[in-house]
A and B are shown apart, each in its own frame.
Chain A
Amino acid sequence: MSSTALPAPHRRDADPYRLGRGQGHGAPGHGGGHDHATGHGAGGPASKRVVVGFGFWIFLLSDIVMFSAFFAAHAVLLDATAGGPSGRELFDPTRVALETGFLLASSFTCGLAAVATEARSQLWTQIFLLITGLLGAGFLALEINEFTRMIAEGAGPQRSAFLSSFFAVVGCHGLHVTAGLLWLGTMMAQVFIKGFRPNILRRLLCFNLFWHALDIIWVALFTIVYLIGLGT
């Protein structure tokens, strides 16, 4: 559980965003980042860190496209309540505010975990990852509770097209959080056993991106599903 020192300052200045340029590993012509980058791609293949982060961003964008299809469906079916309850009757603003608080706080602690990783502190990384996971689990518990309560009241997804799309879009986000929690647990074990190796660091970077992306989607969900739903 010892923390190692920060990278030497001069190394950071040479490559402030650690894009792999100027690290000098690999001779010219062998990939892995070059000294003489003069333009887009002119320096040869990017470093693994850049490739992995960039690829994961592309995946996140595709995931956001998938959510946008669910959002579009929800917008279309907003009034299709088929005589059943609408959002105004069903949604509980306090619960939604609590859920939002949990998720945003978990994003903050996730960021703190990244800072701890930067300082190579095993202990604080684990602590903040654990808090992130607990907040995420709290969010999930609230959501599951909301779902079961609605289904018990006869406002399940089979009741109307509006409720179908509500359960699908919120549930899809919930599934993402569940997958994120599984990933988080796996990451904690990996960090604990394998330490801060380059590939573990890249995975932590991707996990951070993923967890923040879930927040972005929740903000859209909060607005499109809950706020508009309560307003109509």
Chain B
Amino acid sequence: MLGKLTWDAIPWSQPIPLIAGAVVMLVLLGVLAWVVVKGYVPYLWREWITSVDHKRIGVMYTLLGLVMLLRGFIDAIMMRLQQALAFQSGGYLPPEHYNQIFSAHGTIMIFFGAMPFVIGLMNFVVPLQLGVRDVAFPTLNATSFWLTATGALLVNISLVVGEFARTGWLPFPPLSETGYSPGVGVDYYVWALQISGVGTLMSGINLVTTILKMRAPGMSYLRMPMFCWTALSANMLIVAAFPILTATLAMLALDRYLGFHFFTNEAGGNMMMFMNLIWAWGHPEVYILVLPAFGVFSEVISTFSRKPLFGYRSMVAATLFICIVSFTVWLHHFFTMGAGGDVNATFGIATSIIAVGTGVKIYNWIFTMYGGRIQYATPMLWSVGFIVTFVIGGMTGVLLAVPPADFMLHNSLFLVAHFHNVIIGAVLFAAFAGLTFWFPKAFGFRLHEGWGKASFWCAFIGFYVTFMPLYIVGLEGMTRRLQRYDVPEWRPWVLLAGVGIIILFAGAVCQVVQLVVSIRDRDKLRDEMGDPWNGRSLEWATASPPPAFNFAVLPNVQDEQPYWTIKQRAIETQQLPAEPDYQPIEMPRNSPTGFITAFFSTLTGFALIWHIWWLVVVGLVAAYAIFVWFAWRDVEDYVIPAEDVAKIDRERRHARQAWLDANARVGEPA
């Protein structure tokens, strides 16, 4: 009846996961109880859970990313603590538990922390920057989000029910085959990623279609803001790379469930094929994360330097160059496979060449700042911190791209330090820069500057104190994923890295405090006018938060910085453009399709993990029923009458006029 699921699946004998799970459950139940008691359920259902508004979905993606970043960070703290204690002793985590922690840390950080955060920013910002009202497929967008949430939920269920993979964040065979991993850990991994991967793929299709087919009149390709270009590149990479992940994990699942021999030791299976396939997805994945990060920095640096982006066209070229070359370097993840000198050299050179495109970008950012009136607001601090940190990470990357050096440093903590250097330095810094930059657009008030700056400095210093020692122990020969070690020379550096993570923790606390304080003081931090940073692209042309339809009238784009032009004209002539002729607007209706699909996906995923076959069938039939039910609806849109549009837009115009009157000849927002 319940497949492999029994009471023994819950780790009664292990206090750490049990207590952690109990705490999470209590918090969740507490939040749920609070929501129910306060009567927020109908509001949440109507305005958020069933919402197909790209802004709401973007916010939910970002929130999921934030929560999962904290979850993955707890794993990181546990690992650092283990290594700090485990000198010539067993530490506090037994090996099988420690292995789950580092696997969960990588999986959660990449798939459920960084990815939702980045996709959330793209979802929120891209339609606004393009001057349109929504993404191409709004209901599909909601479904994508809820499927991602399903994956995150399954990974977190593994904390208390059963176990998680012990194979590392990529389940390399033959370790991940049933012979060596008979438990449900790898199955949790496979199905959580398959389900959320489908969500990510659909999100990629959606955003590519949006950017290529839905732009405001006059917004030709070379007038799109840089963030839209990087989003386009990242989503094209999603469309081209995620199907490979789906296929690879499907093969692994066939091996595990039906006794196939894709990657096994026996019957002709080829485990190096797994390496090739998974990294053919995995390396583009790095750029799926980092390209939108580059886009965020481009917007932030240009805005806070009070200058247009330097070398816009070379930036576009560099982005597309990285997009294409990222597909030709995957083999550098396993130079030690023994493919031979020629193959290794080819991939080593291809890897080094990516640094050219990145270098173009770095110089463009520096030249954007050069001669500008730089204002060191929190997003700008993250950006400058990124430039410094990323250059170091990039250089260690080029070092690792040299095959002979890689043979020495492969699988060492040097490698771990390198990829944390680029991922934290670029993706995480960009996530927080973007969060601070666009938060007022989403909620109508700014985040507290003081706490934001404190958070930046803790993260910046904490990063160096944590990861520079790992470079050194890596050079001294310490391999990654050690549950215990006996070399005394490593110990001081490992302890220093432990101090570093305390500083990083302080940064995370500041980030949370910043949110709480900002919500408390929201009236003082209010963004009345909709343009808190003196911005240049179209998202700042609308109100904060934007109305459901984003723009009462689609803007007519005439150059590369449409909003800047509109704003300068208004300042010069001391008046807003004439009031447009308001028309009724059709918007897509809300739909619970995404949420219900995700509910049944969760059931199906859980049933597959525990071999509860009848439940798998129920889930699949229900998924088909939802599909038909959704396809059957007759009314897809609702109409916002012209009077309502006019009323909402006149408020925006009123705020802008007030600002214009107050800042008559200054040209800078208050």
Interface residues of A (CB under 8 A from B): 27-31, 34, 39-46, 50-51, 54-55, 58-59, 61-63, 65-67, 69-70, 72-73, 76-77, 80-82, 157-162, 164-165, 167-168, 172, 182, 186, 190, 194, 199, 203
Contact = CB atoms under 8 A, between A and B. Distances in A.
Question: Quick one: which of B261, B581, B583 has the most chain A CB within 10 A?
Answer: B261
B206 A41 contact: no
Contacts of A194: 634
B553 A29 contact: yes
B37 interface: no
Given A28-B217, A30-B585, A76 B273 contact: yes
A16 to B, nearest CB: 19
Given A80-B268, A162-B268, A31 B554 contact: yes
Nearest to A185: B628
B556 interface: yes
Contact of B258 (A29, A39, A158): A158
19 contacts: A29-B217, A31-B133, A41-B212, A41-B215, A42-B220, A45-B132, A54-B212, A54-B213, A55-B137, A61-B239, A62-B239, A62-B243, A73-B262, A76-B270, A80-B269, A161-B262, A164-B260, A186-B631, A203-B631
Contacts of B254: 157, 164, 168
Interface string B552-565: 01101000000000
Nearest to A157: B260
A160 B267 contact: yes
Contact of A168 (B201, B251, B277): B251
Contacts of A164: 254-255, 260-262, 267, 269
A30 B244 contact: no
A31 B132 contact: yes
Nearest to A84: B267
A132 to B, nearest CB: 19
A78 to B, nearest CB: 10
Nearest to B248: A69
Contact of A66 (B215, B243, B270, B556): B243
A27 B583 contact: yes
B208 A58 contact: yes
A186 B628 contact: yes
Return the 3 tightest CB-CB contacts between A and B, nearest first. Answer: A80-B268, A161-B268, A66-B243
Given A45-B213, A77-B262, A164-B254, A55 B206 contact: yes
A160 B601 CA distance: 32
B214 interface: yes
Interface string B189-223: 00000000000010011101100111111111100
A54 B214 CA distance: 11
Nearest to B133: A31
Interface string B598-622: 0000000000000000000000000
Given A29-B553, A55-B206, A66 B213 contact: no
Interface string B163-206: 00000000000000000000000000000000000000100111
A41 to B, nearest CB: 4
B247 interface: yes
B268 A160 contact: yes
A71 B28 CA distance: 45
A168 B217 contact: no
Nearest to A48: B136
Contacts of B244: 65-66, 69
Contact of A73 (B204, B246, B273): B273
Given A43-B217, A65-B243, A199-B636, A55 B136 contact: yes
Question: Quick one: which of A44, A186, A194 has the most chain B CB within 10 A?
Answer: A44
Contacts of B250: 168, 172
B636 A82 contact: no
Contact of B261 (A50, A61, A160): A160
A41 B554 CA distance: 13
Contacts of B209: 51, 54-55, 58
B299 to A, nearest CB: 20
Contacts of A30: 553-554, 583, 585
B268 A51 contact: no
Given A51-B209, A72-B277, A186-B628, A45 B214 contact: yes
Contact of A58 (B205, B217, B273): B205
B57 to A, nearest CB: 17
B367 interface: no
B261 A161 contact: yes
A221 to B, nearest CB: 14
A62 B266 CA distance: 32
A61 B585 CA distance: 33
A43 B132 CA distance: 13
Interface in B231-281: 239-244, 246-248, 250-251, 254-255, 258-262, 264, 266-270, 273, 277, 280
B136 A51 contact: yes
